[in-house]
Amino acid sequence: MLKFALAGNPNSGKTTLFNGLTGSTAHVGNWPGVTVDKKEGVYKKGAEPVAIMDLPGIYSLSPYTPEEVIARNYILDEKPDCVINIIDATNLERNLYLTTQIMEIDVPVIIALNMMDAVEKRGDSIDATELEKRLGLPVVKISALKGQGLDKLMERAFETCKKPRVGVTVIEDTALKHFIGDVKIALEGQGVQNPMFHAVKLAELDELEVLMHKDTVNMVEAFKKTHKDEIFGDDFEALVADARYKYITKYFSPALKRRNKEKFVVTPSDKADKILTHRIWGIPIFLVVLFTIFHFTFSENLFFLGGLLPEGWVSLEGTAFEGVFGDGGINSIGVMLMNLVEVGTTALSDLVASLLSSSPEWVTGLICDGVLGGIFAILGFLPQILVLFLFFSILEDSGYMARIAFILDRALRKFGLSGRAFLPMIMGFGCSVPAMINTRTLADEKEKLATVRVIPFFSCGAKLPILTAVSGAIVMHFGVGNVDFITYGMYLLGIITALIAVILMRETTLKGDTPPFIMELPAYHAPQVKNLIMLLWDKAKHFIEKAFTIILASTILIWVISHFSFDWKYLTDEQMESSILAGVGQLIQPLFTPLGFGSQLKAFGWVFAVAAITGLIAKENVVSTLGTLAACIVTGALVDVELDGGVGAVAIMIKETGITLPALLSFIAFNMTTIPCFAAVAAAKGEMPKKSTFKWTLAFWIATSYVVSSAVYLVGTAFWTVFIYLAVAVVAFFAIRFYNKKRLEKGKIK
Ligand code: GDP
């Protein structure tokens, strides 16, 4: 089968074109050894099917990011039959920079001049024939968004791939050109393929080339030495880049005819940016947007209309849908979907339970509570997570997220991160798994690692039940505070922990410069429904695949060990105290003594230890474990532990175990800052360069949760300890500063 590769700048419309060409045949995977998406598909509308490979979006073929290396090696080594270079026609000059590099490789190339609809809408025009003549490459105007010109593009690509092509360079600077010519002849003599491309890169002293062509490097070095001051100066890379841009401005730019040649055109996008990226209003506007998104996803009182509605208006009392659309207030779309899923899953559970009514008790228990309970717990969260994804994808696709990263870059820089780290962190509020995967956009390994490590501190959706249940029980039992206040306080604690952790890491183990944040702000686009649906489907699949296996297995395990004794006898709920789980719980209980919920608790105190441990598998387990165990401890309790979101369960636990208020806060803090869940651990592992880094990350999470929650407990119990913590923090801070300074000085002396 013929093989075409799609290459182009980020945001040039590559994904849109790829989807347009391959439809549903696309297959997403990873490039070997790195966490960069690899997409393949088949174009079937032509005379013969063609495999289309979507290369990562890049600005150049230099070796600075994994994306660049992948794209470059693919074209050089895999030798596609044709490279389709997609260009954003509204940004002709910048996009052609990559073209001038691809042209140097001995491969058929065709230019897809994309976004022509946008160019025409502006009243500009591009002379494709002129461009084609100048480039010596076929140029086809398309609009990937509107699906225009795609067949024509593929037709010409078919013709193009039949004719072999020899690489040419646009570098005109005579001395430089001659020198590159010499290097090329030398390489040809050695039988090197793609001599033009390698000659230019070698002249730039590109890292990869220097390693590959050790003999020829001497030639470059010698040349550099002789000509150093006369013409070239020292930085050949800049020189080559300059030569490329000169050529582009001189010959290619005239192909673009602007309607308003002289006047600077203010596009609607520019106007929107005046407000949305405003120095003062930018951030408040963003906060409002964020709040709205969370409101639409999680709120049970949409637009705060609850008080105004006639009683029972939305609750549909007495029907199968009681409470689905609201109870008092109107539910947000996320909560409605969640409730609908719940109606379905409850009906299914009931059905299965009635089918199993004549089987032994343990079979019913295992299947209904263990297996179905596990699957449905996950399904229940899926709607809200998908709704959150949908909103974030809209923000991302429309170009707004790029602006936010840009606004926040200055603030984040103080903590040693660039604006790019912001999106994954904010996504962490939804779910750590996609957030960690999203760190792939961070090119700098150290920045990426620091970001992956703090993502769990941005409390995810699954931790919300822990926050609301425990703080609800605190208010109920101790009669202090306010649920919202405690919940927000805990969110804040997570964010502060994240910021402190980032500063510490960037000052110590992950020292390094914060990479510059250069980013072209793309014009605002209306998001494409088709793209969004495909994205959501992808994420849903990923979520189900990764989390299903782990959570399903863990619920079955918890069920089994809480219903069997060490000598493998089946136990009823009431006999839980003799279960394997209780035994293990008592064994690990002392580990949590410094945190306030360990050995100091009375009977049944082990349940908090068990809940914390099951939470390491998935945070959904925490409240469900407390609920199950509470129901068993208080036999025949009238409190329905499930209905009030676990508040009743925690209240029972408080009464039975005598746990204190600071210890409860410490319990929340522990859950918020420790190992997030197995799915996130797996995702984090996928983003780590080395095994040892992964181990250190696990250790980091455990240590942080220990320090943070013991601090919460101690400060809550004995207020004066605040000063000890402060003193330790100040001493540590200055010690690190001092150490770094010393190291720097040493380095300088050498
Ligand atoms: P990628 O980063 O190169 O994969 O680019 P995408 O395919 O995600 O496209 C970036 C943005 O450009 C999206 O918002 C698209 O809707 C938009 N876009 C893509 N092709 C066209 C086009 O032909 N015309 C217009 N007006 N917008 C386009």
pLDDT one-digit tens code per residue, 681-720: 888 888 887 778 899 999 999 999 999 999 999 988 887 7
Q: 372-377 — which CB contacts under 8 Å span 24+ positions? A: 372/345, 372/348, 373/555, 373/559, 373/624, 374/551, 374/552, 374/553, 374/554, 374/555, 374/556, 375/548, 375/552, 376/342, 376/345, 376/348, 376/349, 377/551, 377/555, 377/620, 377/624
What proportion of the chain, given as a percentage, has pLDDT over 70?
89
Q: Which of 6, 16, 396 to mutate to test the pocket of ligand 1 (most atoms within 8 A of CB)?
A: 16
State whether the beta carbon of 10 lies less than 6 angstroms from ligand 1. yes
State whether the beta carbon of 177 lies less than 6 angstroms from ligand 1. no
Residue 11 CA: which ligand 1 atom is closest?
2
Q: Are strands 125-126 and 82-88 parallel, antiparallel or unpaired?
A: unpaired
Q: Using the predicted structure, report yes or no on whether residue 245 has a pLDDT greater than 70.
A: yes
CA 647/CA 656 separation, integer angstroms: 14
Q: Which of 11, 52, 67, 113 to mutate to test the pocket of ligand 1 (most atoms within 8 A of CB)?
A: 11
Residue 148 CA: which ligand 1 atom is closest?
23
CA of 384 to the centre of ligand 1 (A): 27
Give the least confident one: 88-97, 218-227, 564-573. Answer: 218-227
CA of 98 to the centre of ligand 1 (A): 18
Q: Using the predicted structure, report yes or no on whether residue 645 has a pLDDT greater than 80.
A: no
State whether the beta carbon of 145 lies less than 6 angstroms from ligand 1. yes
Q: Using the predicted structure, report yes or no on whether residue 262 has a pLDDT greater than 50.
A: no
CA 692/CA 698 separation, integer angstroms: 10
State whether the beta carbon of 144 lies less than 6 angstroms from ligand 1. yes
Reported as a pLDDT band with limits 50, 70 and 90, residue 750 is very low
CA of 70 to the centre of ligand 1 (A): 22
| Torsion of Cα atoms, 429 then 434 then 437 then 441, to 10° | -70
Q: Which of 525, 534, 535 to mutate to test the pocket of ligand 1 (most atoms within 8 A of CB)?
A: 525
pLDDT of residue 508: 83
pLDDT of residue 43: 93
State whether the beta carbon of 397 lies less than 6 angstroms from ligand 1. yes
State whether the beta carbon of 37 lies less than 6 angstroms from ligand 1. no
**Stretch 595-602: mean pLDDT, rounded?**
90
Cβ atoms of residues 251 and 134 within 8 Å = yes
- One CATH from 3.30.1330.40, 3.30.470.20, 3.40.50.300, 2.40.30.10 for 2-161: 3.40.50.300
State whether the beta carbon of 7 lies less than 6 angstroms from ligand 1. no
CA of 12 to the centre of ligand 1 (A): 6
CA 94/CA 59 separation, integer angstroms: 8
pLDDT of residue 233: 59
Q: Which of 98, 120, 145 to mutate to test the pocket of ligand 1 (most atoms within 8 A of CB)?
A: 145
CA of 523 to the centre of ligand 1 (A): 10
CA of 726 to the centre of ligand 1 (A): 50
Q: Using the predicted structure, report yes or no on whether residue 518 has a pLDDT greater than 70.
A: no
233 in helix, strand or coil? coil
CA 605/CA 607 separation, integer angstroms: 5
- Which residue owns the Cα nearest ligand 1 atom 28? 145
Summarize pLDDT for 378-412 with one digit per residue, the tens: 666 678 778 877 887 888 778 888 788 888 887 78
pLDDT of residue 462: 80
State the span(s) of the chain assigned CATH 3.40.50.300.
2-161
**Stretch 664-678: mean pLDDT, rounded?**
93
Instruction: State phi, psi for 69 to the nearest 5 degrees.
Output: -65, -40
State whether the beta carbon of 528 lies less than 6 angstroms from ligand 1. yes
Reported as a pLDDT band with limits 50, 70 and 90, residue 18 is very high
Q: Using the predicted structure, report yes or no on whether residue 13 has a pLDDT greater than 50.
A: yes
**Stretch 191-215: mean pLDDT, rounded?**
85
State whether the beta carbon of 535 lies less than 6 angstroms from ligand 1. no
State the span(s) of the chain assigned CATH 1.10.287.
174-257
- Helix 606-617 to helix 580-588 angle (10° resolution) is 100
Q: Using the predicted structure, report yes or no on whether residue 638 has a pLDDT greater than 60.
A: no
Look up residue 570 and give its DSSP letter: B
pLDDT of residue 640: 46
Summarize pLDDT for 406-455 with one digit per residue, the tens: 888 877 887 888 888 887 888 888 778 878 887 877 778 888 899 999 99
Rounded to an integer, what is the distance from CA 675 to the centroid of its chain? 18
CA of 13 to the centre of ligand 1 (A): 4
CA of 89 to the centre of ligand 1 (A): 11
Reported as a pLDDT band with limits 50, 70 and 90, residue 643 is very low
State whether the beta carbon of 118 lies less than 6 angstroms from ligand 1. yes
**Stretch 653-669: mean pLDDT, rounded?**
92
Phi/psi region, residue 567 (left: phi>0; alpha: psi -120 to 50; beta: rest), is alpha
Of the two residues 487 and 98, the one the predictor is more confident about is 98
CATH of domain 174-257: 1.10.287
Rounded to an integer, what is the distance from CA 123 to the centroid of its chain? 38
CA of 305 to the centre of ligand 1 (A): 39
> Which secondary structure element, helix H or strand E, spans residue 391, and what is its range?
helix 373-398
Look up residue 28 and give its DSSP letter: E
Give the least confident one: 382-386, 630-634, 662-666. Answer: 630-634
Look up residue 579 and give its DSSP letter: B
Residue 142 CA: which ligand 1 atom is closest?
23
Statement: the pTM of the whole predicted model exceeds 0.85:
no
- Which residue owns the Cα nearest ligand 1 atom 19? 13
CA 618/CA 547 separation, integer angstroms: 9
CA 195/CA 200 separation, integer angstroms: 9
Residue 6 β-bridge partners: 54, 84
pLDDT of residue 232: 57
Residue 86 CA: which ligand 1 atom is closest?
3
pLDDT of residue 749: 46
| Torsion of Cα atoms, 516 then 394 then 10 then 259, to 10° | -100
Of the two residues 526 and 111, the one the predictor is more confident about is 111
pLDDT of residue 543: 66
CA of 238 to the centre of ligand 1 (A): 30
Reported as a pLDDT band with limits 50, 70 and 90, residue 31 is low
